[in-house]
């Protein structure tokens, strides 16, 4: 079932939590709402779920107005960060719960419930824990059970609010793969909230980057990372270096370090898009090496140019060729830069 959010606005008192948000999510797509704390992600998710009402705008499910349809009737499955399982119920009963509370006419038989619950527990690979209680599970296992419980009622839409927020990195990674797999298996529309850029880029088909109640950019993970539409997206999705820039029509050149004046054209460059050279060449900026640090497969080099510090990422191979040490002078050649004047992209 597709989800359409049309011109949704929401205020809390004088505070604008959502400002005219529009967004379409077709069936089969997994979308991440990504942004800093307080940007309105949870509010938008709750409005889609019907748990919060919008001041203006509409939510449509499968092309039909759902704004006034009760949460229970929306065929929506939820998973929250601290979505406590029922402590007094076994894993099996937790997953069966949504089926047991259905109106009598729609309630599956006991045999069907058993079959469906066991199938879901197999899907999350925890069928061997069916008789345990939540207190006897690890955090990651609980979240997988919470997912199975959300899926038991065969939702057409799955909404997840920081579902893996409280877990350690390794478990998070595993659960992300899970989510992707489950989502694909169920062929539903899913929306998940996260403030973790890596999580959004790794799992989602499309990422909605939000800031202060509006959408900064909506695109594939590659688009939002490699072609940020605004300075905010650049900064929020990874590290970025900012240079002063000269613009000549369609063509821009990095000029010098940005001691920012308001109307300056600023060139944004990712750390891996700066090449370091030992020899001077036309257009290269001279810099001195401050610090060299190997991080996993990359080597991070901090350099100083005109009193500003820039970050460069090199492959280990390239670094072995250069063999940089602190204090020496090098030349920087930025590439793949995008230039903004204020919020406006100029090149």
Taking the complex as a whole, the smallest distance from the CB of residue 214 to ligand ATP amounts, in Å, to 12
In the bound state with ligand ATP, the residue whose beta carbon lies nearer, of 18 and 30, is 18
Per-residue interface string for the shown chain with ligand ATP, residues 309-338, x marking contact by CB under 6 A = ------------------------------
Q: Count CB neighbours of 154 within 10 A.
A: 13
Distance CA 344, CA 262 (A): 13
How many residues of this chain interact with ligand ATP, rule: CB under 6 A? 12
In the bound state with ligand ATP, the residue whose beta carbon lies nearer, of 41 and 338, is 41
In the bound state with ligand ATP, the residue whose beta carbon lies nearer, of 195 and 305, is 195
Answer yes or no whether residue 43 interacts with ligand ATP by CB under 6 A.
yes
Considering only residues 4 to 23 of the shown chain, the ones binding ligand ATP according to CB under 6 A are 12, 15, 17
Q: Are 166 and 81 within 8 A, CB to CB?
A: yes
Cα 162 to Cα 19, 67, 167, 176, 320, distances in angstroms: 22, 24, 10, 11, 40
In the bound state with ligand ATP, the residue whose beta carbon lies nearer, of 40 and 155, is 40
Per-residue interface string for the shown chain with ligand ATP, residues 21-40, x marking contact by CB under 6 A = --------------x-xxxx
Cα–chain center distance at 33 = 6
Considering only residues 170 to 209 of the shown chain, the ones binding ligand ATP according to CB under 6 A are 195
Distance CA 133, CA 93 (A): 9
Per-residue interface string for the shown chain with ligand ATP, residues 50-69, x marking contact by CB under 6 A = --------------------
Taking the complex as a whole, the smallest distance from the CB of residue 91 to ligand ATP amounts, in Å, to 28
Burial class of 84 by CB neighbour count within 10 A (0 to 12, 13 to 18, 19+): exposed
- Residues 4, 34, 41, 258: which binds ligand ATP (CB under 6 A)? 41
Taking the complex as a whole, the smallest distance from the CB of residue 116 to ligand ATP amounts, in Å, to 32
How does DSSP assign 236-296, residue by residue? HSS--EEEEEEEETTEEEEEEE----TT-EEEEE-GGGEEEESS--TT-EEEEEEEEEEET
β-strand partners of 338: 268
Q: Are 331 and 285 within 8 A, CB to CB?
A: yes
Could you list the residues that contact ligand ATP (CB under 6 A)?
Answer: 12, 15, 17, 35, 37-43, 195
């Amino acid at each position: 079932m597709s989800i359409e959010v049309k011109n949704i606005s929401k205020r809390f008192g004088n505070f604008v939590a959502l400002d005219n948000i529009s967004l379409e999510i077709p069936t089969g797509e997994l979308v991440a709402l990504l942004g800093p704390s307080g940007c309105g992600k949870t509010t938008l998710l709750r409005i889609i779920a019907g748990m919060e009402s919008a001041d203006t705008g509409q939510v449509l499910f499968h092309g039909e107005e759902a704004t006034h349809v009760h949460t229970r009737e929306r065929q929506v499955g939820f998973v929250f960060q601290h979505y406590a399982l029922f402590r007094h119920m076994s894993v099996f009963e937790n997953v069966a719960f949504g089926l047991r509370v259905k109106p009598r006419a729609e309630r599956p038989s006991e045999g069907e419930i058993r079959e469906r619950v066991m199938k879901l527990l197999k899907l999350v690979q925890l069928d061997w824990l069916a008789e345990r209680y939540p207190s006897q599970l690890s955090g990651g296992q609980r979240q997988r059970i919470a997912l199975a419980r959300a899926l038991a009622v065969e939702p057409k839409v799955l909404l997840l609010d920081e579902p893996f927020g409280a877990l350690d990195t390794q478990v998070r990674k595993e659960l992300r793969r899970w989510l992707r797999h489950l989502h694909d298996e169920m062929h539903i529309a899913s929306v998940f909230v996260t403030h973790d850029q890596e999580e959004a880029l790794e799992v989602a088909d499309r990422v909605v980057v939000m800031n202060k109640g509006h959408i900064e950019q909506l695109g594939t993970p590659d688009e939002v990372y490699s072609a940020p539409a605004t300075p905010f997206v650049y900064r929020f999705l990874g590290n970025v270096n900012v240079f002063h820039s000269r613009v000549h029509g369609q063509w821009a050149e990095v000029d010098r370090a940005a001691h920012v004046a308001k109307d300056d054209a600023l060139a944004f460059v990712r750390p891996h898009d700066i090449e370091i050279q030992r020899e001077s060449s036309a257009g290269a900026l001279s810099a001195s090496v401050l610090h060299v640090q190997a991080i996993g497969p990359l080597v991070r080099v901090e350099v100083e140019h005109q009193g500003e510090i820039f970050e460069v990422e090199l492959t280990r191979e390239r670094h072995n060729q250069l063999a940089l040490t602190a204090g020496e002078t090098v030349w920087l050649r930025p590439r793949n830069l995008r230039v903004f004047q204020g919020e406006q992209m100029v090149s």
